[in-house]
Amino acid sequence: MSQAETDNLPVLQLDVISDVICPWCFIGKRKLDAALAALEGVRINLMWRPYQLYPDTPMEGADLSTKIKERYGEDGVKQMRENIKAAAKGTHINFAFENIKITPNTLNAHRLIRWAASTGQQHAIAEALFSAHFEQGKNIGDVAVLLEIAGQHGLDVPLMADLFKGDNDIEATRNDDAAARELGVHGVPAFLAGGKFLLMGAQEPEYLNRFIEKARQKLAVQ
């Protein structure tokens, strides 16, 4: 399909509500990539929205082993990770849980994703954050790590550094998180089509495309 033909397709808004330390969100992102690659007849305006699984985590992060044992119990951690790896088959994600030492506070990561919207790099930066955390074991609560990712995707690093020093968009990010919960989002990933239709969970590409098509038809997107 030519660029002109693509530009003439109807446009559907699709918001991805997620947290970048959620393994199911990483799986959901990769399955969404597969869905979008096979999508026909509509152009997606994709926007990433914040949801913090652990908003009370200290800004310096928390010890991961303590955090997950508190939530899942020692016996449940191994089974949980095996379930995640099984669900990730076909996504080419190389989960390296053994390298993750810190549960970061993701507020600053969500701020970076928010700022990336102006350059069209939200999707790529979300991917980079997921990969840095789950595959490389980096602390994505560390501003230095966030600035490195920003630079790799063409963002203005000095500007980002200055923004991180202040409180720019902290309230807006938290308000977006609160808005998602008010919509009924109680787990992530979640997908909001056209601001009206909500789908939760890391769905298979075929199911995602059926959801998108159904939303398009109900919203009469032409």
Give 45-99 pLDDT, tens digit per residue: 999 999 999 999 999 999 887 777 777 777 788 889 999 999 999 999 999 999 9
Query: What's the pLDDT score for residue 66?
Result: 78
Query: What's the pLDDT score for residue 192?
Result: 98
Q: Identity (one letter) of the amino acid at 189?
A: P
Q: How far apart are CA 23 and CA 89, in angstroms?
A: 13
Query: What's the pLDDT score for residue 213?
Result: 94
- Which of 21-30, 33-42, 64-73 is least confident? 64-73
Query: What is the pLDDT averaged over residues 105-129?
Result: 98
* Nearest residue to 89 (alpha-carbon basis) of 25, 27, 19: 27
Tally of domains in the chain: 1
Give 181-192 pLDDT, tens digit per residue: 999 999 999 999
Structural domain containing residue 19: 3-218
Query: What is the pLDDT averaged over residues 127-149?
Result: 98
Query: What's the pLDDT score for residue 73?
Result: 77
Query: What's the pLDDT score for residue 75?
Result: 73
Query: What is the pLDDT averaged over residues 200-221?
Result: 94
Work out the pLDDT band at 2, boundaries 50, 70, 90: very low
Q: How far apart are CA 187 and CA 175, in angstroms?
A: 17
Q: Where are the alpha helices (DSSP H) in the chain?
A: 3-7, 23-38, 64-72, 74-87, 107-116, 122-134, 143-152, 157-165, 170-182, 205-218
Query: What is the pLDDT averaged over residues 119-124?
Result: 97
Work out the pLDDT band at 222, boundaries 50, 70, 90: low
Give 146-173 pLDDT, tens digit per residue: 999 999 999 999 999 999 999 999 999 9
- Give Dmax (Cα) for the chain: 55
CATH at 162? 3.40.30.10
Q: How far apart are CA 122 and CA 118, in angstroms?
A: 9
